[in-house]
Structure 1
Amino acid sequence: MVRPWLVVVVRSSAPRGRPYRARVSEESHQRSDDAIAAAEQREAERRQGGERRPPAPDWVLELGIGNGTPPTEVHAGHCYAIGNRRRVIDRDQALALLADGVRACSHCRPDTTLGVLG
């Protein structure tokens, strides 16, 4: 026996229109597409930065602390021991500085590369 005063109306919480699974699936695909696009953008920026980066210098002069202090060492451009106070120099300047008595770096040995006997 059905009691008319116990009738309960049950409504679906899913919105009408597209089914819930289809909507979630589309949102998931959109998030994946956005993540892929962001990764591709980062990769393109990394490649572009590498192309625009200036070439490494051939020779570097490490400067002393303060104004008017003599330079401390001559380095090859690839040396890992170059300090923060530095200036890019060309081959002729490196030869002249080594001839004037500026010390050559003991790690990269620019005097040997330049052919300076010291």
Structure 2
Amino acid sequence: MSESTPEERLAALHFLRRVQQRDLARTDQWIATEEQRAAEHARRRPPPPPPDWALERGKRAKPKAIHTSQCWNPFFMQAITRDQAIEALTRGAVPPCARCEPDKELGVLE
């Protein structure tokens, strides 16, 4: 069996590189197409519903008020569970919102 020359080996490696570049370009196109499909799917999906209970934080992250979903504002509030809302109202000394009155809805009247 004859040995290949350095020129032949180099030509084969250049050929391999061109094939791999073409495969990589095709893979990149597939990825771009799937990312576009995923973005389109996300745009069509409705936003998640607001949480049932929320904790509003004031300056320095100090708890300011407890709210129901009627007052939900994701920029100023943190979603909390029913138990966390009751705990904050009863033991945490966090006041209820005067507008949505979560204390009445939770059955925690002062």
Deviation sequence 1:13-67 (CA, Å, 0-9, x none): xxxxxxxxxxxxxxxxxxxxxxxxxxxxxxx97x8232xx21210000001212x
In the alignment, which residue of structure 1 is the partner of 2:44? 48
* Number of the residue aligned with 2:89: 98
Please report how far the alpha carbon of residue 78 of structure 1 lies from its aligned counterpart in structure 2 after TM superposition: 1.8
In the alignment, the residues of structure 1 paired with residue 105 and residue 88 of structure 2 have an alpha-carbon distance, to the nearest angstrom, of 14
Counterpart AA for 2:56 = E
Unaligned runs of 5+ in 2: 1-39
Uncovered stretches (5+) of structure 1, i.e. residues with no partner: 1-43
SS at match of 1:87: strand
Q: Structure 1 residues 111, 70: closer, same or farther in 2, change over 3 A?
A: same
1:104 match: secondary structure: coil
| CA deviation string 1:1-23 (max 9, x = no partner) | xxxxxxxxxxxxxxxxxxxxxxx
Q: Distance in 1 between matches of 2:98 and 2:67?
A: 9
What percent of counterpart residues are identical? Answer: 39
1:76 counterpart (51, 68, 93): 68
Considering only aligned residues, what root-mean-square deviation do their CA atoms show, in Å? 2.4
Alpha-carbon distance in 1 for matches of 2:52, 2:84: 11
1:86 corresponds in structure 2 to 77
Q: 1:49 to 1:83 in 2, by over 3 A?
A: closer
Q: Distance in 1 between matches of 2:66 and 2:74?
A: 11
TM-score (norm 1): 0.51
Please show how residues 1-118 of structure 1 align to structure 2 within 5 Å.
48-50=44-46, 53-66=47-60, 69-79=61-71, 82=73, 84-100=75-91, 101-118=93-110
Scaled by the length of structure 2, what TM-score is found? 0.55
- Check whether the contact 1:95–1:116 (CA below 8 A) recurs between aligned residues: yes
The structure that has the greater radius of gyration is 1
